[in-house]
Structure 1
Amino acid sequence: MNLLKKLGFMKKENALRFPKEESYPSPPIEYRVSFVDHLIRGLSPPIHEFLCGLLFVYGLQLHQLTPNSILHISIFITLCECFLGVHPNWALWKRIFYCRRNGSHNVTYNIGGVVICIRPDVEYFDVKFPDSVQGWRKRWLYVHEESSDSVEYNIAPFDGGAKILRRRSWDAEATEEEKSATEALMTRIHELQNTRGKELSGIQITTYFLRIRAQPLQARKNPLWMYAGEEDVERLSKDLPVNDLEKLIRRISSFSMKDTIPSSCRIKPYSGTNALPENHPVLASLPPLPEGGEVEERTVVTDDNQGTSRPESEVAGSQKSAASSEKEVESEATASTHSLPSAVSPRNKRKRDEVADSGASKAGTSPAEEVVPTEEKTTFNPYLDALPSMKEFVRLDTQFIGYRNYATKLEETLAEANKRPDALAVKLEPSEAAHKKAEADAAAVEDLRKRLHDMETSLSDNIAQQSAREKEILTRVESQSRCFVRKTQQDYDLENPEGDRLLDALSLLEIHGDEAREGLAEARSGLSRLFPYFFPKKEEPTPFVALAKHFNSQEDLGLKLRQEGLKVGVEGTITLVADSQ
């Protein structure tokens, strides 16, 4: 619960519900069965249209996919939208992936019974899946089915007893036309893997969609190449702390504490801050949805669920990360009070003749080949003939139990609602007393309001008087200014000062100012008359300060004057001698 709360799955009220005492899923109305390990790998309702198409074409329910298969789809959608700049492409998917059963020689899984594998001849990202996902089947819960524009985008109701039938579409390959259309995408994938210094890995793609907090497998308004950062409406939560993000990545991958988790991708993904190039082709190729009708690829090849399942390690061939990652320990196949129903052993099923071509379930079988089982010699058995009806009855009974529990909860809610009026009546009594007290205080409030009005009126009068006084002072100051330009011996017309100290201070200040200005003017006149005498070869400076600095020099002006006079006398004597030869 703490993990899902950090990841933002529980920020909406009643978004998730956890099982109580039930040992078999019984979701309430408008809820669907999901798994914690599916949610942390990019799944959120309503599910993405690409995932809807995959489930329809492969003839699967969501719970029949293993956690690492869910992660495969999340990485593929993130790769297409963030690094290839296209919508999830069905033709490209068929070039890379195919489906196989998930089981061992003595156990056939129904929950997580199908694994998505990478084709042995395809060079794809090494996702670093863990060797086993321990106990994921026991961590089931209920998610609220959010409304969507089309019912095809909703999660199908949980049916734990539904058989897994291998179909032609599990081995579906891209046609020559589809290969030609997606060749540029495959070339780009190889460039992303092999460009020196800018290699892209599966763990980098996983880290990216976990870090931006946008679920790849959720139906979104905009593709991830329009991701707008912290303000994006598709985000489930704020950024995870670095330690929590690294713990989450180590949980869903084979990375140990010694391995370094990449903080970012070596190549910048497309987003709102890194837009697609101009005229970039946004290819659209989605799997067919139910509104298109049944497709030929969904044809059942054989019910190989009745036979012995091949070990999971043999399913994927050379792609160990895609097959062995889902391997479960033996104890997980047993029943538990908090787990899903235990797997069904093949020895408890009806005996049938072997299929003529037992290799139909292998990876190399052509999708066009259809194996027809031989006719089975059976005798009438009322129990076996009634088995489908009994299964349907059990399914209906399970739904009835769910409806009955829901009705019981509604009755309890109604009883609580009936108790609420009495509780409200008790709470109303103090409110009525408070209302009477408020009415008694209303008179006091009105009196305070009247007093406040009187104070505001008095304040307005004071402000008006102050404004009149200020205007009067300004008038007197202007009058005094006209008088202050005169000499100090003349009389001043104060225009009835009435003992105003401010006007008296201004008058004295202006008088002293006039005296200072007169003194400066006289000093200027005297220095100007002395300047040509002491500095005959210099031009008299205009500013008074510059003029005064000449007379504040450290030099002896008298000595300098005598030297200049002596110099003039000598020059005159030499001139006379020269003229007289």
Structure 2
Amino acid sequence: MAAEDLEWERSKISNQDINMLKRLGLMKKEDAIRFPSEESYPKPPMEYRVSFVDHLIRGLSTPIHDFLRGLLFVYGIQLHQLTPNSILHISIFITLCECFLGIPPNWALWKRIFCLRRNGSHNVTYNIGGVVICVRTDVDYFDVKFPDSVQGWRKKWLYIHEESANSVEHNIVPFDGSARIQRRRSWDAEASEEEKKATEALMSRIHQLQNTRGKELSGVQITAYFLRIRVQPLQARKNPLWTYSGKNDANRISNDLSVKDLEKLVRRVSRLAKKDPIPSSCRVEPYSASNPLPENHPTMSSLPPLPEDGEVEEQAIVAEDTQGSSIPESEVAGSHKSAASHEKEVESEASESTQSLPPAVSPRNKRKRTDAEDSGTSKAEEVVPSHPKAAYDPYVESLVSSDDEEEVPTTDVAPRTSTSRTVLASDTLVEGEETSPPQQNVVTTTPPSSPLAPSPKRTRVEKIVEPAPQLGSSSTLLLDDPMIKDLLRIGSQFIGYREYANRVEEKLAEANERANALARKLEQSEAARKKAELAASKAKAEADEAKAKAAGVEELQKKLEDATAALDEHKAAQASREEGILKRLKTQSRRTFTQTNQDFDLTNPVNDPVLDALSYLELHGSEIREGVSNASAVLSALFPYFFPKKEEPATFLNLAKMFNTPEDLGLKMRQENMKVAVENTVALVADSRQTIDWMKVGDTEQIEQSRWRSLIKAAKPNTKKILAYLGIKPASTPSSSRPEV
């Protein structure tokens, strides 16, 4: 089994995870998700791919979005090699583009903001989650508040069904657990100048969304938004998010989550603590059906290359990563280190080495030269440009390729090669370019060639040094002599080397002057760099101080707003309370006036409704207290007459209750008095020694009321004597007696 396979183990998905996937609507279709059984290494069924629970809850669904498919293709990676935070990065970027910029996800904008890095530690190089998406160090982007580490996400793998959308398959890259992660040039691909110019307005809009006071947009707000509206950003959708129409939108995968489930999900994918509030809405209203795009709004379209577009150059592998170039997994979330910084340093060192004078002999160039000579071709002629002002050079004209000198005896080769030095074609002098002296210690069996020679194949030396006709017939014999040929060749070489040495000395002097000028410019640039670094450090310190002050001011402003809101609430509560008190006071005053029929006018009102109502209630209270005092005195005086054998109550309330009985106390007292009167009358009659038939008197049925009243009226004059006898002084008022039996 490969080393990468050792990271896989049996999937451990809990019932809580399954319930979460159901609530999110990711298991609405019966065959949407399959869970592994006992296998410890993924073996997806036909039409299924490998994914993770933490990928799905961060916005991934099938069929996948073309933008994500293009990223996987360009970067040469698989879905399982991305970390959960990287998946969330892509979801936030797509939501930002569609909801707040009003454009499809833009590949040029992506390259300006993000790059790829290896994920690992000093001891481990990951394959699952071995690639992480980072924000470039020179870019000001949203603070997403990723968790430092997503615990155990690699153990929660499952199979998701691969679907198709609009008859075009948006395939996830087929699973290959043995595929190694290899760093590619596309990982650090930067936007071109044209792309930067085209996306400058988008970057300005992003900075405006971040820094507008009171309307700051954050990565957590964007995350909570797409989780709240129940649309998966990484899914291929029928309509973009700027046309979102609410609960009946075709892109929604489930109904609204409960507040508790939404808060739990947002805290799971972010670094928010329990005390941190979950944003209920974005401070900037996103584009939707209720907030449509402005008229003539540009919708820039820029997608990464897709597999059907053919192979792309960015997929080329540039180097094999080492553990030293990887980011520890715990540092991935907050790392904004540029992935291209190390490579740029290497490139800068290489460029400095190529500018040093003179350059070293390149074994690669040597190999190319040898191949050209062995093959007998004239490739050097393609590299060396022609020199239009070059004068006649006997050294150049004397050069003959070893392949062309078929008539030269082999005995002449050793003397030539033992004293010759070959100059490569790459050392040719060209006007306006820096040059270096001829390559040294490169000994070949080929006669030396001049740096100005356009090709190693030239006309034979016999034709070049042909003597004048006036030498006579013996000149031909002299030219045919091998020694004369050698002498002519050596002389030509000497002249060529001398002239070449003079030109090299001139070029060397020019090179020295240029090197001195470059050294002075380097010193100036170094001083300017130090000055710029000092100014940058000061500016950064000032910016940090200003940011700290701004944060303090914002905190004070927030506290002031909270205090103002609390004061307004307190005032509203106080006003409501005073209104209730006033209502109750007016009610009591009205009830008192109804019972006592006594109203008052305030002599000096304070024009305060509560205090004035309280003053009216005090006046009514004084009247009531006086009435209670008088009533108490009257009832105390009457108590012995109505209740002769009972003790008088101590409180007025109990005393009043004694008189407030169901029976009529006045009638009862009058009846008692009538009884006493009858008894007294019978006693008086008995004392008068008159014979009276009391049986007849007691027969009340025989009494007529009219006669009875006339008899009482006739008896009144005599009652005064009887009352005087009894010691009672009758009142002067007429009697109100009535027949009571």
* Superposition TM-score tier, normalisation by shorter sequence: 0.5 to 0.7
1:129-528 equivalent positions in 2, closer than 5 A: 129-149=146-166, 153-304=170-321, 308=324, 310-312=326-328, 320=334, 362=342, 364=344
1:175 maps to a residue whose letter is S
Cα distance between partner residues in 1 of 2:156 and 2:27: 16
Deviation of the 1:303 alpha carbon: 2.0
How many pairs were matched up? 336
Deviation of the 1:302 alpha carbon: 1.0
Larger relative contact order, structure 1 or 2 (CA cutoff 8 Å, min sep 6): 1
TM-score (norm 1): 0.55
Deviation of the 1:139 alpha carbon: 0.3
**Is residue 31 of structure 1 aligned with residue 45 of structure 2?**
no
1:26-65 equivalent positions in 2, closer than 5 A: 26-65=43-82
Deviation of the 1:50 alpha carbon: 0.5
Aligned residues of 1:32 and 1:144 also touching (Cα < 8 A): yes
Aligned residues of 1:171 and 1:366 also touching (Cα < 8 A): no
Deviations along 1:497-523, one digit per CA (max 9) or x if unpaired, are xxxxxxxxxxxxxxxxxxxxxxxxxxx
1:23 maps to a residue whose letter is S
Candidates 70, 83, 94, aligned match of 2:111: 94
1:194 maps to a residue whose letter is N
Candidates 35, 38, 59, aligned match of 1:18: 35
Cα distance between partner residues in 2 of 1:196 and 1:151: 44
Partner of 2:486: none
2:174 maps to a residue whose letter is P
C-alpha distance 145-241 of structure 1, shift in aligned 2 (>3 A): same
Aligned residues of 1:48 and 1:218 also touching (Cα < 8 A): yes
3-state DSSP class of the match of 2:199?
helix
Deviations along 1:405-431, one digit per CA (max 9) or x if unpaired, are xxxxxxxxxxxxxxxxxxxxxxxxxxx
In structure 1, list runs of 5 or more residues that go unmatched: 324-358, 376-581
Deviations along 1:423-481, one digit per CA (max 9) or x if unpaired, are xxxxxxxxxxxxxxxxxxxxxxxxxxxxxxxxxxxxxxxxxxxxxxxxxxxxxxxxxxx
Cα distance between partner residues in 1 of 2:111 and 2:288: 26
Cα distance between partner residues in 1 of 2:344 and 2:202: 24
Deviation of the 1:130 alpha carbon: 0.4
Partner of 2:129: 112
Cα distance between partner residues in 2 of 1:251 and 1:110: 24
1:9 maps to a residue whose letter is L
2:161 maps to a residue whose letter is H
Partner of 1:70: 87
1:76 maps to a residue whose letter is F
Cα distance between partner residues in 1 of 2:30 and 2:207: 44
Cα distance between partner residues in 2 of 1:118 and 1:366: 21
3-state DSSP class of the match of 2:318?
strand
Deviations along 1:482-538, one digit per CA (max 9) or x if unpaired, are xxxxxxxxxxxxxxxxxxxxxxxxxxxxxxxxxxxxxxxxxxxxxxxxxxxxxxxxx
3-state DSSP class of the match of 2:247?
helix
Cα distance between partner residues in 2 of 1:367 and 1:95: 21
Aligned residues of 1:108 and 1:309 also touching (Cα < 8 A): no
1:119 maps to a residue whose letter is R
2:127 maps to a residue whose letter is N
Aligned residues of 1:301 and 1:370 also touching (Cα < 8 A): no
2:334 maps to a residue whose letter is K
Aligned residues of 2:119 and 2:130 also touching (Cα < 8 A): yes
Partner of 2:700: none
Deviations along 1:541-580, one digit per CA (max 9) or x if unpaired, are xxxxxxxxxxxxxxxxxxxxxxxxxxxxxxxxxxxxxxxx
1:63 maps to a residue whose letter is H
**Is residue 103 of structure 1 aligned with residue 120 of structure 2?**
yes
Cα distance between partner residues in 2 of 1:275 and 1:109: 44
Q: Give the % identical residues.
A: 72
Cα distance between partner residues in 2 of 1:369 and 1:293: 35
Aligned residues of 1:152 and 1:290 also touching (Cα < 8 A): no
Aligned residues of 1:8 and 1:236 also touching (Cα < 8 A): yes
Partner of 1:7: 24
Cα distance between partner residues in 2 of 1:149 and 1:361: 42
Deviation of the 1:147 alpha carbon: 2.3
Deviation of the 1:135 alpha carbon: 0.5
3-state DSSP class of the match of 2:133?
strand
Deviation of the 1:310 alpha carbon: 3.0
Deviations along 1:143-184, one digit per CA (max 9) or x if unpaired, are 111123566621122111101010001001111100000000
Deviations along 1:56-97, one digit per CA (max 9) or x if unpaired, are 111111111000000000000000000000010000000000
C-alpha distance 285-124 of structure 1, shift in aligned 2 (>3 A): same
C-alpha distance 163-79 of structure 1, shift in aligned 2 (>3 A): same
Deviation of the 1:14 alpha carbon: 1.6
1:104 maps to a residue whose letter is S
3-state DSSP class of the match of 1:76?
helix
C-alpha distance 253-322 of structure 1, shift in aligned 2 (>3 A): farther
3-state DSSP class of the match of 2:160?
strand
Cα distance between partner residues in 2 of 1:161 and 1:266: 46
1:158 maps to a residue whose letter is F
TM-score (norm 2): 0.43
